[in-house]
Amino acid sequence: MAETAQLTEELRSRILARPDAILDDPDVMRALIAANDRGQGGNIVDLRGIAMQRLEARLGRLEDTHRNVIGAAYDNLASTNQIHRAILRLLEPQDFAAFLDSLCGDVANILRVDAVRLVLEVTHPDDPAPRRLGPVLCTAGRGFGDFYVTGGRNVPVRAVTLRQGVPDADLIYGPLATDIRSEALMKLNLGLDRLPGLLVMGAHDPKLFRPSQGTELLAFFAGIVERALRRWPA
C-alpha cells in the first residue's frame, strides 16, 4: 500500500505540475469523461460531455480544413515555381525555330506534360512550309481554335479551358492522339493584323488537367507566349 501510495503521490505531483498535459491529450480526456459518466449512472444526462463531444468533432473538422488549406498552398506554390521556370526558359530563344524547340522540349519537361502544340490559324493551312519546323507547330484554317475548344457547340470560348477526355485530335497530336487523356487549351491573341492561335498542352494522366482546377497561372503563361510570338513576323 505504501508503494502504491508513493506512486500515486508521484503521479499526482506530475499532474499538478503540468495540468495542460492532461487537457491537451484527447485520449486521456475521453477516458476521464467516460469514468465520470459511469460514476453518475445511466439516468443522468451530462450536458458538459455532449458539449465537449461536439467541440471535439468541430475541432477535428477544423484541423482537416487546416491541413487541406496548407496542402493547397504548397501545391499552388509548387505550380507557381514551375510556371516561372518555364517562362524564364521560354524567354531565352532568339529565333522562332529555337522558341519552338524550347516549347516542346525544356518547357514541356518543366511543366511535366507529354505534349505541347502551338496551333496557328492561317489563310493557307495546306502550305507545307510550317511542317519543316517539327510537330510542335500546327497550322489550321480560320476559326479552328474556337471549334476545337467548344467541339462545335454554340457556347462561350474561355481564355483557358481544362478538360478530360480529349476528342479526335489527330491534327494536333498526330500519333500521340490516342494516348492523350487530358489537356489544357489556351487561346492566343497575336495582334490586330494576325489570326489567333491556340497553345495546347496534353497529358497521358487523365487527372493532370481537370475543369475544377484554377487557370490563373496558365492564363499568365499564355500571355507570355503571346508576347513572345509577336516578336516574329507572321
pLDDT (tens place) for every residue of the chain, 234 residues total: 444 455 577 777 887 888 777 777 777 777 776 766 665 555 555 656 666 677 777 877 887 777 777 766 667 777 888 999 999 999 898 888 899 999 999 999 999 999 999 999 988 877 776 667 788 898 889 999 999 999 888 888 999 999 998 877 788 898 888 899 999 999 999 988 889 999 999 999 999 999 988 899 999 999 999 999 988 765
Cα 33 → chain centroid: 43
Amino acid at 85: R
What 3-state class would DSSP assign to 225? helix
d(CA 215, CA 186): 10
- Looking at the domain that runs over 94-229, which CATH code has it been given? 3.30.450.40
Helices 96-104, 47-90: axis angle to 10 degrees equals 150
pTM: 0.68
pLDDT of residue 28: 75
| Backbone torsions φ then ψ of 156, nearest 5 degrees | -60, 145
Place of cell 490559324: 121
pLDDT of residue 162: 95
